[in-house]
Structure 1
């Protein structure tokens, strides 16, 4: 029952295609045999079994083309009277007209199923075994005809042209399609990795910053005078929960981040003033020095990274943000309470890559009793002052 289900066609189009294929093949087989109008008995004994054999080959050939090749073996190119080419081998043989690649009316169908065998079969040993059987059949045919050297030449060319070459073409086609499929899957995998990296960057830029501000608000409540002890304890638990969430977010970003993917060059839509205002509303003590002139495109990313680091590693400290057309810096004082998260995040590394691509220079380190994050960007037409390796274009 299982094998019968495998022989079912998936659509009516396949049924019509196979019926037409059998009809054409049957016509060719009939034309090769006795004339039914002159010798009906010979036609029934010779052509009718061959037509039935063709029907079986067509039925199983779509699923198992190698089986169709075996079934059509008696209809193979074993008549060496007509061929694709005729050559003169009098220098080697007494015979002048030797047929190269004998062709019969059924040869194109055999070639087609041999091609499908190479195209669809993954394992090669069944095809090799069948080819050995076909070779043995051809050797027996030549020996039965007398074993003339011209017959051997015709038989070998028939094996190569009718069976081997179509099979190798199908095999080549299958390999090419596999390579194309692998390239497509690789491109899809790269697209998924890029999307994961984008999600990681968005999570770090948005959620990480917001969690840090939540922790800052909780720390402010924890230090507020006159607050009930229970409320102070709840504020401390909220601060620790925000710190734990920030740490878990950092671990998730580490899993999602693709090191081979470039850092983004365009931050989310929020200017520096709005970012500072939102951070100050959360309880951070921030002073903003915003110079006149165009604001660098990386200013928002630099300020966000600096404020996030200050909120996590120096909670309660005073922060000063300075933005000029060619320099952005975020400086914070010493922390007033325990840091909310340990160091080792990926935000500073991603920001460093952004700055490098913009042709600027990033410096981050201790400054007095605090910490400063500063980015210097080249002026229009200037080279990278510290040769950071980025593109020599202004941000």
Structure 2
């Protein structure tokens, strides 16, 4: 409503606080308050004009108004409308509104009701020396208006005298009124206006404080949740490091001993070396997982260790070195433009599919197809014959794959065909390199 200036400190607006059904009634309450304020201002103006007309008529020898008095009455009518309009102007400086409404009673036969309302609105949102200067101006306008009213000789030409007189209404009775009465009334009205403005300011500050406290409480709750989750991650990381890390280190140690003891047995030495290399790689993957658990935000966008589509031959070679024959067909167009999160999903799905085949059908050949591009997406298919009549219940491998596929809004089908061949078909939509940071966080 106003610009900043030296000595003035605007009061911040209160933050919105949920108040249930009262929020829907707020516009109606605002209109009702403004309507009541306009009614009081216009009523005060009408009463002030009426007493002024009566006073001028009593003072006139002919009982008629002169030209200057007629002009003042017309100007006062216009001024009362201007005062009401000024109170409604939200984008006008509250200082200007207060000074305009305070200057009208000084030059026209009007009361200071509009100025008192404007002063209360000013005090509600501003503070400083300029505000107290406006308080003095409104106090002067109120005093002048009341002294002018008290100068009427009878109860008909003075509203103060009619209110303090014991005579019946309608009787034009001369009354002597002490000079202190209008001064006391002006002081009471000014103090009431200032008190109302300060009360509204304190209420707005209280609401703002409550809003900040609610926001701080929400932030505290979010921080507590994050700290709780991080504590759980740290506990899991410690358990994984102590248990699995210890087992993998023992596996690597025994594989090294087996490789040394193999001597000239090349097949046994190669198997031991492969076990040792796999254990070491598992240790590296475990360390990467522990970093993600301990520092999720710092490692969320660290893509240096993230597998890419070009790493698919590596996981196939590891499966073949483990003794499972794999017949693979990989054809991907614009693979370097794929989002790293999509590449990671494809890599993990292929890895899990080959692991499931090795677990449930050891030694049986596996047919693998990875094909796609930006237009058709990526299609992953595996097929392997079961080596046992009862492969056992479904484990967590396919469940994890289905969850990963669901995160990408893809599709997955799996099951046995008529030739007792277990088939899995996965389709993932294509994502460009800049499009899936959110999905990467989920994966």
TM-score normalised by the chain length of structure 2: 0.37
Which has the greater radius of gyration? 2
Higher helix share: 2
TM-score normalised by the chain length of structure 1: 0.41
Higher relative contact order (CA 8 A, sep 6+): 2
